[in-house]
Amino acid sequence: MVAGLSFELLMAIVVSMSGLVCFGLIMVLTLRSINASVAVGVVGSVLSWLAALYLFIHYWPAREAVVFQVNWLVSSHVQVPFGYYFDSLSLLMLMIVVTISTLIQIYSIGYMAGDPGKSRYYAFLCLFAWSMINLVIAPALIQLYIFWELVGVSSYLLIGFYFEKYSASEAGKKAFVMTRAGDIGFFIGLVLLFLAMGHLAVDVFSSGEKIAAVLPNLKPLFPMKPETLLTISAILIFSGAVGKSAQFPLMTWLPDAMEGPTPVSALLHSATMVAAGVYLVSRIFPFYEASHTAMLVMLVIGTITMLLSSTMAMVARDIKQVWAYSTISQLGFMLMGLGAGAYFAGVFHLTTHAFFKALLFLCAGVFIHHFDTNDFFDMSKGGARKMLIPMIAVTIGVCALSGLPPFSGFFSKEAVMGALAAKHWVWLAAGLLGAAMTAYYSFRVIFVMWFPRGGAAGHAHAHGHVGHADADAHEDHGAHKGGAVWITEWCMLAVLIVLSAITLVLGAFEGEIEAFIIGAKEAATAAQGAAAEGGHGIGHTTVLVLALSCALAGVILAWFEYGARRATQTGFLSRYKAVERLFANRWYMDHFYRKLLDYVVYGGFSNVFTRNDRVVIDGGIDGFSNLTLGLGRLFSRLQSGLLQRNLYVTFFLLALMGLYFFLV
Amino acid sequence: MNSLYVYLFVALFLFCVGLWGVLHRRSLIAMLISVELMLNAASINFLAFNRFLSPDPAVGQIVVLFIMGTAAAEAAIGLSIILALFRRYQSVEIGKAQELKG
C-alpha cells in the first residue's frame, strides 16, 4: 500500500525516526558536549511534534485507517510487515506521546542542569520516545511487541540512570524483570495467535466485524474451539499489559521506578511506559470484546489494582510515591472502564491522565529540585507554599486527579463511572470507593503543602528551620549563577503552565475527542443509548452526583485531618497501626515476591543447578582425578626403591617363564 | 655318572651361589662379584656342552671369550656406577640407594 513518497509518508518517517536519529547522533557525536546533546534532543522532539501535529490535523476528518507498510520478513506465506498505521486512536496517542515527551525534554533542560550525565540522559529520552512512538503506530502486533520491549529497555536505562546508586540500579532491574514476567504471557499469546492466523495485522484486531470474519477460519495449534483460543490468547496478551501498566500481581515495580530522575517518572507514568499496556488493550479492544471472560478478567484485575494502590497511597510520605500509587490506581481505573466495555471512556481517561499525571510529577520535580527531599511534609516545612506557580499547578493537577469539575479528570472519570454503572452496581461501588480514596490521598498532599505546621515538638520546628536555611542557600547559590538559572527555572515553570492549561481545557473537548475516536454517528447513538438506559439502570445524573459526592467526601475528610486550623496532620489510619503498616508495606507484596524468589528461584531452581554443578559436574571431574591419583598411588607401591626385591621378582618371573617353556 | 653332568652341576651350583649373592648381599661390590660368578657358571655350561656334545666347531669357546669380554666391560661400568654411588652416599650399601621409591 505504499503510494510513492507522499508528503504524509515523509511526515510519518520524520515522526517515527527522529528519535532514533537523535539517539544515534548523541551517542556517536555529542556525548561530550552537553549543550549540543540537549539541542539535538529538543530539536528532534520538536520536529517530530510538528510532524505529528501535521498528521493529526491532516487525518482529523478521516475515519478510515491509513496504512503505510513494507514487508520486513517474508517466508513462504508468512509475512511480517513493518510500517505505520494511522487511525484515530493511534493518532491521538501519538499526539499525547510527542507532546509530553517534548515538554519533558524542555523541562529537563532545567531539571538536569549541572548533571554530568545529561547527554546520556537525552539520548535515552530520545530512544524512549522513539520506541513509544513506533509502538503506537505499529501496523502489526509483531512490530508493537518489538517496540514494547524497546520501551522496556529504555525505561530500564532511565530508571537506573543514577546507576552508581544501589537502589536505582536495583529499581531498574526490578522494573525490567517484572515487566518481562508479564511479557512472557504476551509473547506466548502472540505466538498462539500467529500460528492460528498467519498474521497479526492491527487492522483485523481493531475491527469487530473482521475478527468475527476471521474467527471460524482459525487453525489452532492444539485441538480447541476458536473461541477458547481467542479467550486464552486474549488473557495471555493482557498479562503483558498487566506487567507494563503495573496491574495487580505485577504492580510493585512502579513505585520503585521513581528512583530515576523525576522527569523520567513523569514520562514513564503518563505517556510512555505504563500507558503502553492500556494502549495495547484499547488498540485491540474489539478483539477483547469478542471474549467475555477476558473482559471480566480485565475488569476484576483493574478493580483490585485500583483499590489496593489507593490504600497504599493513603499512607505514603514520599510525594513521588503518592503519585506513583495514584498512577497505578488510575491505570486500574482505565482498565475497569475498558473491561466494562467503554472503549471511549478508557481511552479518554488515558488521555487526560497522561497530561495531569505529567503535570503532577513535574511539579513534584520542581519541589524536589528546590528542597532536595522527597518527603512532602519536609517540603511544606521548607516553605513550599511560597512557590506560587508550582503550587497552583499541583493544585490543578490534584483537582483533575480527584475528578473535580471543571478539570479534565472530572469528565473522563465520569465517563468511566457511567460505563461501570451500566455494568453492575458492584463495579460502580468499587469505582466510587476508589474515587473517594483518590480525593483523600491527593488532597492530603495538597493540604499538607499549603498549610505547613511547625509541629508541637521543638524538634519538628528546628527541622523546619533547617529546611528554610537549605532553601535560602539554594536561592543564594542560584543568584550567583545569574542568567542561566533564570532560564532553567523558566524552562520548568513554562512547561508546568502549558500542562496546567491543557489539564484545564482538555475536558471541554470531550465531545470532539469522542467524535474523533468512535465517530460522530456512533457517539450520538451511544449518547442516546445511554439516555435510554438511564430509564432502567442507574441514571446518568445519579452517577454524576454520586461520583462528585464521593470525591468531595474524600476532600472534606482530608481537610479535617490535614487542612483545618486545628488539624493534627495525622491520618485516621495512624490510629490503626496494623492497617497502616499493611498499607505502607504495600500489602506485603514485595515481601511475598522476595519469599517467592527465595523459595522458588534461589531455593528451588538455583539450588538444584548449584547441586548439579557441585555434585555431578564437579564431583565427576573430582572423582576421575581421584581415581587416577589412587591408581597411581597403588602402582607406585611397586616402586619400592629396593633393587634386590625388584631383582627377586624379575628372577621369579624368568623362572616361571622357564618352567612354562620347559613343560610345554 | 656321565662327566657332562658333573660340569653341569658345578655350573648350577656356581649360578645358585651367584644368584643368592645378587639377591642377598648388601654390598654392591659383593653383588658385582656374584654377577661374575653367574657369568662364569654360564661359561662353564657353554664349555661343557661344546666339549661333550659337538666338539668340532669350537663355537662354545668363542662364546666364552665373548662372555669374558662383556664381563670385563660390565665390571668396568659396574665399578664406575658403584664409584658414583659412593661419592653420593659415602657408602656402597644397596639399601641407601632408594630415591626412586614411589
Q: Which conformational region is residue A224 in: left (phi greater than 0), alpha (psi within -120 to 50 degrees), or beta? A: beta
Calculate the average pLDDT of chain A.
81
A204 vs A526, residue with greater confidence: A204
* pLDDT band, very low/low/confident/very high, at A110 (cuts 50, 70, 90): confident
Predicted local distance difference test score (pLDDT) of residue A659: 94
pLDDT-wise least confident of A323-332, A616-625, A641-650, B64-73: A641-650
Residue A521 pLDDT exceeds 80 = no
pLDDT-wise least confident of A10-14, A210-214, A305-309, A622-626: A210-214
Residues of A in contact with B102 (CB under 8 A): 635-641
Helix (H, G, I), strand (E, B) or coil at A78: strand
Predicted local distance difference test score (pLDDT) of residue A116: 83
d(CA A218, CA A194): 10
d(CA A2, CA A114): 46
DSSP state of A314: T
Over residues A440-449, the mean pLDDT reads 86
User: Which residue in chain B has the smallest CA separation from A642?
Assistant: B98
* pLDDT band, very low/low/confident/very high, at A12 (cuts 50, 70, 90): confident
Q: Which of A636, A643, A651 sits opposite B94 (nearest CB)?
A: A643
Bridge partners for A86 per DSSP:
A66
What backbone phi and psi angles, to 5 degrees, belong to A168?
-70, -45
Residue span of the structural domain in which B48 resides: 26-91
A185 vs A483, residue with greater confidence: A185
For the beta carbon of residue A326, count every other beta carbon within 10 angstroms: 28
- Residues in chain B whose Cβ is within 8 Å of chain A: 19, 22-24, 94-95, 97-102
CA dist A343 → A92, A132, A251, A288, A657 (Å): 14, 21, 23, 11, 101
Bridge partners for A70 per DSSP:
A82
Over residues A368-384, the mean pLDDT reads 80
Least Cα distance to A9 among A86, A71, A77 occurs for A86
AA letter at A126:
C
Least Cα distance to A275 among A121, A153, A97 occurs for A97
A657 vs A369, residue with greater confidence: A657
Predicted local distance difference test score (pLDDT) of residue A290: 84
Helix (H, G, I), strand (E, B) or coil at A400: helix
Predicted local distance difference test score (pLDDT) of residue A474: 43
Give the DSSP H/E element, type plus range, for residue A85.
Answer: strand A78-86
Residue A470 pLDDT exceeds 50 = no
Predicted local distance difference test score (pLDDT) of residue A530: 54
Residue B68 lies in a domain: yes
Q: How many Cα neighbours within 13 Å face the side chain of A453?
A: 18
Residues of A in contact with B99 (CB under 8 A): 641
Q: ipTM of the predicted structure?
A: 0.82
d(CA A163, CA A343): 40
What backbone phi and psi angles, to 5 degrees, belong to B100?
-85, 15
Residue A479 pLDDT exceeds 70 = no
Residue B36 lies in a domain: yes
Over residues A543-548, the mean pLDDT reads 83
Contact B98 A641 (CB under 8 A): yes
d(CA B82, CA A625): 40
Q: Which residues fall within 8 angstroms of residue B4, CB to CB, at 6 or more apart?
A: B48, B49, B52, B53
Residue B10 lies in a domain: no
Predicted local distance difference test score (pLDDT) of residue A249: 81
* pLDDT band, very low/low/confident/very high, at B84 (cuts 50, 70, 90): very high
DSSP state of A290: T
Bridge partners for A298 per DSSP:
none
State the total domains in chain B: 1
Give the CA radius of gyration of chain A. Answer: 31
Question: Which among A637, A638, A643, A646 is the top mutation candidate for probing chain B, defined by the most B β-carbons within 10 Å of its own β-carbon?
Answer: A643
Residue B70 lies in a domain: yes
Predicted local distance difference test score (pLDDT) of residue B20: 93
Residue A463 pLDDT exceeds 80 = no
Residue A62 pLDDT exceeds 70 = no
AA letter at A378:
D
Residue B15 lies in a domain: no
Q: Which conformational region is residue A85 in: left (phi greater than 0), alpha (psi within -120 to 50 degrees), or beta? A: beta
Contact B102 A644 (CB under 8 A): no
Residue B67 lies in a domain: yes
| A520-526 contact pairs (CB < 8 A, 24+) | A523/A344, A526/A344
* pLDDT band, very low/low/confident/very high, at B75 (cuts 50, 70, 90): very high
For the beta carbon of residue A404, count every other beta carbon within 10 angstroms: 18
* pLDDT band, very low/low/confident/very high, at A458 (cuts 50, 70, 90): very low
Query: What nine digits make up the cell of A610?
Result: 548449584
Contact B101 A640 (CB under 8 A): yes
- Residues in chain A whose Cβ is within 8 Å of chain B: 635-644, 647-648, 651
The listed range with the strongest mean pLDDT (A2-16, A42-56, A551-565, B63-77) is B63-77
Residue B1 lies in a domain: no
Bond prior to A406 in cis (omega within 30° of 0):
yes
AA letter at A349:
H
A110 vs B86, residue with greater confidence: B86
Residue A415 pLDDT exceeds 80 = yes
